[in-house]
Structure 1
Amino acid sequence: MEIEELQSAWVQMSQELDHQKKLTNEIILDMTKQKYQNKFNILTKYETVGAFVCFIVAFFVLLNFGKLDTWYLKICGILTLSFLIVLPVLVLSTLKKIKNIDITKGSYKENLKVYLRTKNRLLKLQQVGMAIGFVGLLFIVPVTSKIISNKNVFLTNLKVEQYVIFATTLVALAFFCKWAYKGYLKITQSAQDLIKDLE
Protein backbone atom coordinates (compact mmCIF):
# COMPACT_ATOMS: atom_id res chain seq x y z
CA MET A 1 0.00 0.00 0.00
CA GLU A 2 2.82 2.40 0.79
CA ILE A 3 4.42 1.85 -2.63
CA GLU A 4 1.12 2.66 -4.36
CA GLU A 5 0.75 5.82 -2.26
CA LEU A 6 4.34 6.84 -3.09
CA GLN A 7 3.75 6.20 -6.81
CA SER A 8 0.51 8.18 -6.69
CA ALA A 9 2.23 11.06 -4.85
CA TRP A 10 5.13 10.94 -7.32
CA VAL A 11 2.78 11.08 -10.33
CA GLN A 12 0.87 13.96 -8.76
CA MET A 13 4.09 15.88 -8.01
CA SER A 14 5.33 15.24 -11.54
CA GLN A 15 2.07 16.58 -13.00
CA GLU A 16 2.23 19.65 -10.75
CA LEU A 17 5.84 20.31 -11.78
CA ASP A 18 4.91 19.98 -15.46
CA HIS A 19 2.01 22.37 -14.91
CA GLN A 20 4.31 24.85 -13.10
CA LYS A 21 6.87 24.61 -15.90
CA LYS A 22 4.19 25.25 -18.51
CA LEU A 23 2.88 28.26 -16.57
CA THR A 24 6.41 29.63 -16.13
CA ASN A 25 7.09 29.27 -19.87
CA GLU A 26 3.83 31.05 -20.69
CA ILE A 27 4.67 33.89 -18.30
CA ILE A 28 8.16 34.23 -19.79
CA LEU A 29 6.71 34.26 -23.33
CA ASP A 30 4.13 36.89 -22.39
CA MET A 31 6.77 39.06 -20.71
CA THR A 32 9.05 38.73 -23.74
CA LYS A 33 6.19 39.64 -26.07
CA GLN A 34 5.39 42.69 -23.92
CA LYS A 35 9.06 43.76 -23.87
CA TYR A 36 9.20 43.33 -27.65
CA GLN A 37 6.13 45.51 -28.22
CA ASN A 38 7.35 48.12 -25.73
CA LYS A 39 10.52 48.52 -27.80
CA PHE A 40 8.42 50.00 -30.59
CA ASN A 41 5.98 52.01 -28.45
CA ILE A 42 8.35 54.95 -28.08
CA LEU A 43 9.18 54.96 -31.80
CA THR A 44 5.48 54.84 -32.63
CA LYS A 45 4.78 57.80 -30.34
CA TYR A 46 7.56 59.93 -31.87
CA GLU A 47 6.59 58.99 -35.42
CA THR A 48 2.90 59.66 -34.71
CA VAL A 49 3.70 63.15 -33.42
CA GLY A 50 5.98 63.72 -36.42
CA ALA A 51 3.30 62.49 -38.82
CA PHE A 52 0.72 64.75 -37.18
CA VAL A 53 3.01 67.77 -37.67
CA CYS A 54 3.64 66.73 -41.30
CA PHE A 55 -0.12 66.42 -41.95
CA ILE A 56 -0.77 69.88 -40.46
CA VAL A 57 1.95 71.40 -42.65
CA ALA A 58 0.60 69.50 -45.68
CA PHE A 59 -2.88 70.87 -44.96
CA PHE A 60 -1.41 74.38 -44.72
CA VAL A 61 0.36 73.92 -48.08
CA LEU A 62 -2.87 72.60 -49.64
CA LEU A 63 -4.84 75.59 -48.37
CA ASN A 64 -2.27 77.94 -49.90
CA PHE A 65 -1.44 75.96 -53.02
CA GLY A 66 -2.94 78.73 -55.17
CA LYS A 67 -0.09 81.05 -54.12
CA LEU A 68 2.34 78.80 -56.00
CA ASP A 69 1.92 80.71 -59.24
CA THR A 70 4.58 79.19 -61.51
CA TRP A 71 4.90 75.69 -62.91
CA TYR A 72 8.13 75.01 -61.02
CA LEU A 73 6.67 76.21 -57.70
CA LYS A 74 3.66 73.96 -58.32
CA ILE A 75 6.04 71.01 -58.88
CA CYS A 76 7.85 71.93 -55.64
CA GLY A 77 4.46 72.05 -53.92
CA ILE A 78 3.50 68.58 -55.19
CA LEU A 79 6.87 67.19 -54.09
CA THR A 80 6.46 68.83 -50.67
CA LEU A 81 2.97 67.37 -50.24
CA SER A 82 4.17 63.93 -51.31
CA PHE A 83 7.03 64.05 -48.82
CA LEU A 84 4.78 65.27 -45.99
CA ILE A 85 2.05 62.67 -46.56
CA VAL A 86 3.46 59.52 -48.16
CA LEU A 87 6.60 58.98 -46.07
CA PRO A 88 4.92 59.31 -42.62
CA VAL A 89 2.14 56.93 -43.70
CA LEU A 90 4.67 54.35 -44.91
CA VAL A 91 6.76 54.61 -41.72
CA LEU A 92 3.72 54.36 -39.42
CA SER A 93 2.29 51.35 -41.28
CA THR A 94 5.68 49.58 -41.18
CA LEU A 95 6.05 50.35 -37.47
CA LYS A 96 2.58 48.94 -36.84
CA LYS A 97 3.46 45.80 -38.77
CA ILE A 98 6.76 45.23 -36.93
CA LYS A 99 5.19 45.97 -33.54
CA ASN A 100 2.33 43.53 -34.14
CA ILE A 101 4.49 40.55 -35.04
CA ASP A 102 3.36 37.93 -32.52
CA ILE A 103 6.69 36.44 -31.51
CA THR A 104 4.94 33.85 -29.31
CA LYS A 105 3.09 32.26 -32.22
CA GLY A 106 4.64 30.33 -35.06
CA SER A 107 8.17 29.05 -35.33
CA TYR A 108 11.26 30.95 -34.29
CA LYS A 109 12.61 30.78 -37.83
CA GLU A 110 9.44 32.18 -39.40
CA ASN A 111 9.16 34.97 -36.81
CA LEU A 112 12.77 35.96 -37.32
CA LYS A 113 12.32 35.94 -41.11
CA VAL A 114 9.23 38.19 -40.93
CA TYR A 115 10.95 40.45 -38.40
CA LEU A 116 14.13 40.86 -40.46
CA ARG A 117 12.17 41.64 -43.61
CA THR A 118 10.06 44.26 -41.80
CA LYS A 119 13.08 45.66 -39.92
CA ASN A 120 14.99 46.10 -43.18
CA ARG A 121 12.02 47.89 -44.73
CA LEU A 122 11.74 50.20 -41.71
CA LEU A 123 15.44 51.05 -41.77
CA LYS A 124 15.34 51.56 -45.55
CA LEU A 125 12.41 53.97 -45.11
CA GLN A 126 14.45 55.89 -42.55
CA GLN A 127 17.39 56.11 -44.96
CA VAL A 128 15.12 57.25 -47.80
CA GLY A 129 13.46 59.76 -45.47
CA MET A 130 16.83 61.20 -44.47
CA ALA A 131 17.98 61.47 -48.09
CA ILE A 132 14.73 63.09 -49.17
CA GLY A 133 14.92 65.38 -46.14
CA PHE A 134 18.20 66.83 -47.41
CA VAL A 135 17.08 67.06 -51.02
CA GLY A 136 13.67 68.18 -49.79
CA LEU A 137 15.09 71.45 -48.57
CA LEU A 138 15.52 72.37 -52.23
CA PHE A 139 11.77 72.09 -52.86
CA ILE A 140 10.34 72.78 -49.38
CA VAL A 141 12.16 76.10 -48.86
CA PRO A 142 10.79 77.64 -52.10
CA VAL A 143 7.25 76.54 -51.22
CA THR A 144 7.32 77.91 -47.66
CA SER A 145 9.04 81.12 -48.81
CA LYS A 146 6.37 81.75 -51.45
CA ILE A 147 3.45 80.88 -49.16
CA ILE A 148 4.68 82.77 -46.08
CA SER A 149 6.44 85.82 -47.54
CA ASN A 150 5.29 85.74 -51.17
CA LYS A 151 8.93 85.60 -52.34
CA ASN A 152 10.10 83.38 -55.17
CA VAL A 153 13.56 82.23 -54.02
CA PHE A 154 14.39 81.20 -57.58
CA LEU A 155 14.17 84.85 -58.65
CA THR A 156 15.77 86.36 -55.55
CA ASN A 157 19.43 86.93 -54.80
CA LEU A 158 20.08 85.35 -51.43
CA LYS A 159 22.05 87.26 -48.81
CA VAL A 160 25.08 85.84 -47.02
CA GLU A 161 23.14 85.32 -43.79
CA GLN A 162 20.53 83.27 -45.68
CA TYR A 163 23.29 80.98 -46.98
CA VAL A 164 24.62 80.68 -43.42
CA ILE A 165 21.15 79.77 -42.11
CA PHE A 166 20.73 77.21 -44.90
CA ALA A 167 24.16 75.66 -44.16
CA THR A 168 23.44 75.61 -40.41
CA THR A 169 20.12 73.89 -41.08
CA LEU A 170 21.89 71.24 -43.16
CA VAL A 171 24.44 70.58 -40.40
CA ALA A 172 21.73 70.41 -37.70
CA LEU A 173 19.67 68.09 -39.90
CA ALA A 174 22.69 65.82 -40.41
CA PHE A 175 23.30 65.52 -36.65
CA PHE A 176 19.60 64.90 -35.95
CA CYS A 177 19.35 62.25 -38.67
CA LYS A 178 22.46 60.46 -37.40
CA TRP A 179 21.14 60.50 -33.81
CA ALA A 180 17.67 59.28 -34.83
CA TYR A 181 19.01 56.52 -37.08
CA LYS A 182 21.30 55.26 -34.30
CA GLY A 183 18.22 55.09 -32.06
CA TYR A 184 16.38 53.04 -34.68
CA LEU A 185 19.34 50.67 -35.04
CA LYS A 186 19.60 50.21 -31.28
CA ILE A 187 15.90 49.50 -30.79
CA THR A 188 15.57 47.16 -33.78
CA GLN A 189 18.69 45.21 -32.73
CA SER A 190 17.41 44.94 -29.16
CA ALA A 191 14.06 43.60 -30.42
CA GLN A 192 15.88 41.14 -32.67
CA ASP A 193 17.88 39.90 -29.67
CA LEU A 194 14.61 39.27 -27.80
CA ILE A 195 13.40 37.10 -30.67
CA LYS A 196 16.70 35.21 -30.73
CA ASP A 197 16.38 34.54 -26.99
CA LEU A 198 13.22 32.55 -27.74
CA GLU A 199 15.15 30.04 -29.85
Structure 2
Amino acid sequence: MMRDILARSYKDLPCHYLRTCFLYLAAFPEDYEIHVPNLIELWMAESFIPHTPSHKPEEIAHKYVTELAQRNLIQVVHRSRAHKWIQTIKIHDILRDWCIEEARQDGFLDIIDKKAGQAGAASYDTMICHRSSFQNLSGQILHGTTPILRTLFGFGLSSVSLPKMTSLRVLHIQNSILKDFSRTIGGSIHLRCLRLTGCRHVVLPSSIGKLLYL
Protein backbone atom coordinates (compact mmCIF):
# COMPACT_ATOMS: atom_id res chain seq x y z
CA MET A 1 0.00 0.00 0.00
CA MET A 2 2.76 2.45 0.97
CA ARG A 3 4.70 1.64 -2.20
CA ASP A 4 1.63 2.41 -4.31
CA ILE A 5 1.22 5.79 -2.59
CA LEU A 6 4.88 6.66 -3.13
CA ALA A 7 4.71 5.57 -6.77
CA ARG A 8 1.67 7.80 -7.36
CA SER A 9 3.37 10.76 -5.67
CA TYR A 10 6.41 10.25 -7.88
CA LYS A 11 4.41 9.93 -11.10
CA ASP A 12 2.35 12.97 -10.13
CA LEU A 13 5.42 15.22 -10.30
CA PRO A 14 4.82 17.75 -13.10
CA CYS A 15 7.79 16.95 -15.36
CA HIS A 16 10.43 14.38 -16.22
CA TYR A 17 13.22 16.70 -15.06
CA LEU A 18 11.77 16.96 -11.55
CA ARG A 19 11.26 13.20 -11.30
CA THR A 20 14.89 12.68 -12.29
CA CYS A 21 16.12 15.20 -9.74
CA PHE A 22 14.13 13.49 -7.00
CA LEU A 23 15.37 10.01 -7.90
CA TYR A 24 18.94 11.35 -7.78
CA LEU A 25 18.61 11.81 -4.00
CA ALA A 26 18.95 8.05 -3.57
CA ALA A 27 22.69 8.45 -4.14
CA PHE A 28 23.18 9.95 -0.68
CA PRO A 29 23.52 7.83 2.48
CA GLU A 30 20.74 7.28 4.99
CA ASP A 31 20.02 10.34 7.21
CA TYR A 32 22.47 12.42 5.17
CA GLU A 33 21.92 16.18 5.24
CA ILE A 34 22.18 17.41 1.65
CA HIS A 35 23.51 20.92 1.06
CA VAL A 36 21.18 22.36 -1.59
CA PRO A 37 23.73 24.58 -3.42
CA ASN A 38 25.96 21.51 -3.85
CA LEU A 39 22.99 19.44 -5.00
CA ILE A 40 22.07 22.05 -7.58
CA GLU A 41 25.61 22.00 -8.95
CA LEU A 42 25.32 18.23 -9.33
CA TRP A 43 21.95 18.50 -11.07
CA MET A 44 23.35 21.05 -13.49
CA ALA A 45 26.45 18.97 -14.20
CA GLU A 46 24.12 16.07 -15.02
CA SER A 47 22.03 18.29 -17.36
CA PHE A 48 18.90 17.68 -15.29
CA ILE A 49 17.89 21.36 -15.31
CA PRO A 50 16.25 22.56 -18.54
CA HIS A 51 17.39 25.78 -20.20
CA THR A 52 14.70 28.41 -20.57
CA PRO A 53 15.08 31.97 -21.89
CA SER A 54 13.28 33.58 -18.94
CA HIS A 55 14.97 31.87 -15.98
CA LYS A 56 18.48 30.98 -14.90
CA PRO A 57 19.12 27.27 -14.33
CA GLU A 58 19.79 27.95 -10.63
CA GLU A 59 16.36 29.57 -10.28
CA ILE A 60 14.64 26.56 -11.83
CA ALA A 61 16.62 24.22 -9.60
CA HIS A 62 15.57 26.14 -6.47
CA LYS A 63 11.95 25.88 -7.64
CA TYR A 64 12.41 22.12 -7.97
CA VAL A 65 13.64 21.91 -4.37
CA THR A 66 10.68 23.98 -3.19
CA GLU A 67 8.26 21.81 -5.16
CA LEU A 68 9.64 18.62 -3.60
CA ALA A 69 9.40 20.16 -0.13
CA GLN A 70 5.80 21.29 -0.67
CA ARG A 71 4.89 17.76 -1.72
CA ASN A 72 6.58 16.35 1.42
CA LEU A 73 9.01 14.31 -0.67
CA ILE A 74 11.96 15.91 1.14
CA GLN A 75 12.44 17.29 4.64
CA VAL A 76 13.68 20.86 5.08
CA VAL A 77 16.50 21.04 7.63
CA HIS A 78 17.65 24.64 7.23
CA ARG A 79 16.71 27.81 5.32
CA SER A 80 18.88 30.84 4.58
CA ARG A 81 18.15 33.92 6.68
CA ALA A 82 18.45 36.37 3.81
CA HIS A 83 16.22 34.85 1.11
CA LYS A 84 14.52 32.04 3.07
CA TRP A 85 15.77 29.66 0.39
CA ILE A 86 16.04 26.04 1.41
CA GLN A 87 19.68 25.41 2.24
CA THR A 88 19.76 21.87 3.64
CA ILE A 89 17.43 18.92 3.12
CA LYS A 90 17.02 15.26 4.04
CA ILE A 91 15.01 12.44 2.57
CA HIS A 92 12.98 10.11 4.79
CA ASP A 93 14.28 6.54 5.06
CA ILE A 94 11.11 5.06 3.55
CA LEU A 95 11.27 7.41 0.57
CA ARG A 96 14.98 6.75 0.15
CA ASP A 97 14.45 2.98 0.10
CA TRP A 98 11.76 3.41 -2.54
CA CYS A 99 14.01 5.68 -4.61
CA ILE A 100 16.86 3.16 -4.46
CA GLU A 101 14.68 0.37 -5.80
CA GLU A 102 13.10 2.56 -8.46
CA ALA A 103 16.48 3.92 -9.58
CA ARG A 104 17.88 0.40 -9.92
CA GLN A 105 14.89 -0.89 -11.85
CA ASP A 106 15.18 2.04 -14.28
CA GLY A 107 18.93 1.57 -14.71
CA PHE A 108 19.32 5.14 -13.50
CA LEU A 109 21.47 4.63 -10.39
CA ASP A 110 22.99 1.79 -8.40
CA ILE A 111 23.81 1.89 -4.68
CA ILE A 112 26.40 -0.43 -3.15
CA ASP A 113 26.50 -0.08 0.64
CA LYS A 114 28.44 -2.72 2.58
CA LYS A 115 27.12 -1.56 5.96
CA ALA A 116 23.49 -1.72 4.86
CA GLY A 117 23.94 -4.99 3.01
CA GLN A 118 23.01 -3.45 -0.35
CA ALA A 119 25.06 -5.41 -2.84
CA GLY A 120 24.09 -3.52 -5.98
CA ALA A 121 21.94 -4.22 -8.99
CA ALA A 122 24.69 -5.96 -10.93
CA SER A 123 24.59 -8.84 -8.46
CA TYR A 124 21.04 -9.90 -9.32
CA ASP A 125 20.24 -8.76 -12.86
CA THR A 126 21.85 -7.59 -16.07
CA MET A 127 20.80 -3.94 -15.81
CA ILE A 128 23.77 -1.62 -16.34
CA CYS A 129 23.68 1.72 -14.53
CA HIS A 130 25.69 4.73 -15.64
CA ARG A 131 25.67 6.13 -12.09
CA SER A 132 26.88 4.43 -8.91
CA SER A 133 27.06 5.35 -5.24
CA PHE A 134 29.60 3.37 -3.22
CA GLN A 135 29.29 3.54 0.55
CA ASN A 136 31.36 2.06 3.40
CA LEU A 137 33.63 0.01 1.14
CA SER A 138 37.35 -0.63 0.88
CA GLY A 139 39.82 -1.72 -1.79
CA GLN A 140 39.09 -1.75 -5.53
CA ILE A 141 35.45 -0.85 -6.01
CA LEU A 142 34.90 -0.83 -9.77
CA HIS A 143 35.14 -3.49 -12.42
CA GLY A 144 33.21 -4.13 -15.66
CA THR A 145 31.14 -0.92 -15.66
CA THR A 146 34.13 1.40 -15.42
CA PRO A 147 34.32 2.45 -19.11
CA ILE A 148 30.68 3.65 -19.20
CA LEU A 149 30.32 5.10 -15.70
CA ARG A 150 29.25 8.76 -15.88
CA THR A 151 28.70 9.52 -12.19
CA LEU A 152 30.47 8.20 -9.12
CA PHE A 153 29.51 8.95 -5.53
CA GLY A 154 31.64 7.69 -2.66
CA PHE A 155 30.98 7.95 1.08
CA GLY A 156 33.12 6.43 3.81
CA LEU A 157 35.50 4.62 1.48
CA SER A 158 38.67 3.17 3.03
CA SER A 159 41.95 2.85 1.12
CA VAL A 160 40.12 2.88 -2.19
CA SER A 161 41.93 2.85 -5.49
CA LEU A 162 39.85 4.16 -8.38
CA PRO A 163 40.59 3.09 -11.96
CA LYS A 164 40.59 5.51 -14.87
CA MET A 165 37.08 6.45 -15.93
CA THR A 166 37.06 8.07 -19.36
CA SER A 167 33.30 8.73 -19.50
CA LEU A 168 33.02 10.27 -16.02
CA ARG A 169 31.11 13.56 -15.71
CA VAL A 170 30.53 13.79 -11.94
CA LEU A 171 32.80 12.66 -9.11
CA HIS A 172 31.58 13.33 -5.56
CA ILE A 173 33.54 11.66 -2.74
CA GLN A 174 33.31 12.41 0.96
CA ASN A 175 35.06 11.25 4.14
CA SER A 176 37.21 8.73 2.29
CA ILE A 177 40.82 7.61 1.94
CA LEU A 178 41.85 7.48 -1.71
CA LYS A 179 44.96 5.95 -3.22
CA ASP A 180 46.71 7.00 -6.44
CA PHE A 181 44.01 9.56 -7.17
CA SER A 182 46.20 11.55 -9.56
CA ARG A 183 46.28 8.61 -11.96
CA THR A 184 42.51 8.29 -11.85
CA ILE A 185 41.44 11.78 -12.76
CA GLY A 186 43.80 12.57 -15.63
CA GLY A 187 41.85 10.79 -18.35
CA SER A 188 38.39 12.00 -17.33
CA ILE A 189 38.11 14.54 -20.13
CA HIS A 190 34.32 14.88 -19.78
CA LEU A 191 34.41 15.70 -16.06
CA ARG A 192 32.10 18.61 -15.17
CA CYS A 193 31.89 18.41 -11.38
CA LEU A 194 34.61 17.30 -8.95
CA ARG A 195 33.94 17.46 -5.21
CA LEU A 196 36.26 15.92 -2.62
CA THR A 197 35.32 16.60 1.00
CA GLY A 198 37.14 15.19 4.00
CA CYS A 199 39.33 12.97 1.81
CA ARG A 200 42.88 11.96 2.71
CA HIS A 201 45.92 11.23 0.56
CA VAL A 202 44.54 13.12 -2.42
CA VAL A 203 46.94 14.78 -4.85
CA LEU A 204 45.55 16.57 -7.88
CA PRO A 205 47.69 16.21 -11.02
CA SER A 206 48.86 19.21 -13.02
CA SER A 207 46.93 17.81 -15.99
CA ILE A 208 43.65 18.73 -14.27
CA GLY A 209 43.96 22.10 -16.01
CA LYS A 210 43.31 20.31 -19.30
CA LEU A 211 39.83 19.19 -18.23
CA LEU A 212 37.96 21.84 -20.19
CA TYR A 213 34.44 21.12 -18.88
CA LEU A 214 35.41 21.16 -15.21
Q: TM-score range by the shorter chain?
A: under 0.3
Larger Rg: 1
**TM-score (structure 1 length as normaliser):** 0.22
Bigger strand fraction: 2
> Higher relative contact order at CA 8 Å, sep ≥6: structure 1 or structure 2?
1
Bigger helix fraction: 1
